[in-house]
Amino acid sequence: MSKTSNRLGLWFAHAYVIGLCGTLAGAYFFQFGLWEYPCPMCLLQRMFFLLSALGPAWIIARSRKGPVTTGEWASGWGWAIGAALIGSTVSAAQVLMHIVPPDPGYAGALFGLHLYTWALITFLAAALAAAAALFLTPVAEPLDAGLASPALRRAGAVTLAVLFVFAASNLVACFFLQGFHWQMPGDPTSYQFFTDLGL
């Protein structure tokens, strides 16, 4: 078994996590740069992006402590697929909510498609990518590549830190949007936490 392919398999796990975090960064641009408030379904889709990233993130974390078994590799990617497919159903539901003309859709669009449509595309692409990683298990599972490569060990710390930052920032953003209320408006127009403070 090629050590190179083992390392590439682990690098692919890094790319998957960073890719999903990059998707969330794009959503943050619309939220904080263009002042478009995400709806509850948008936030739910963000959570499933984070959940999908947890599978390969766990593989990365495991690779920093010792050899990764075939079962651990398969479990991590299986988790990623499951979360991505469930997230895709949320995105598809939101697409169907706004598909009948003259509904303009929720919030802005990128290249003519709303963010929930891009989310659906991204979820399906993520599920296919994770399935490919599973299919290539015999040649791509990292085994002890995480311990044998100093670059992978350093990258592991960075990738896990990036995921933590996005998970924590998403939690904070959700809190400010909802405040201390049990429910969030379906079409938010402000950060409820600051509105309640009279700001």
Do residues 193 and 179 make contact, with C-beta atoms less than 8 angstroms apart?
yes
pLDDT value of residue 198: 78
pLDDT value of residue 125: 98
Mean of per-residue pLDDT scores for the chain: 92
CA atoms within 13 A of residue 97's CA, in its CB half-sphere: 15
CA atoms within 13 A of residue 93's CA, in its CB half-sphere: 11
Q: Kindly state the average pLDDT of the residues 154-164.
A: 97
pLDDT value of residue 1: 44
Cross-strand bridge partners of residue 179: none
Residue 199 above 90 pLDDT?
Answer: no
With cut-offs at 50, 70 and 90, classify the pLDDT of residue 2. low
Q: Which SS3 state, helix, strand or coil, does residue 102 take?
A: coil
Type and span of the H or E element at 20: helix 3-28
Question: Tell me: the pLDDT tens digits for 122-141?
Answer: 999 999 999 999 999 998 88
Question: Tell me: the pLDDT tens digits for 183-193?
Answer: 888 888 888 88
Cross-strand bridge partners of residue 110: 113
Q: Kindly state the average pLDDT of the residues 156-165.
A: 97
Do residues 151 and 62 make contact, with C-beta atoms less than 8 angstroms apart?
no
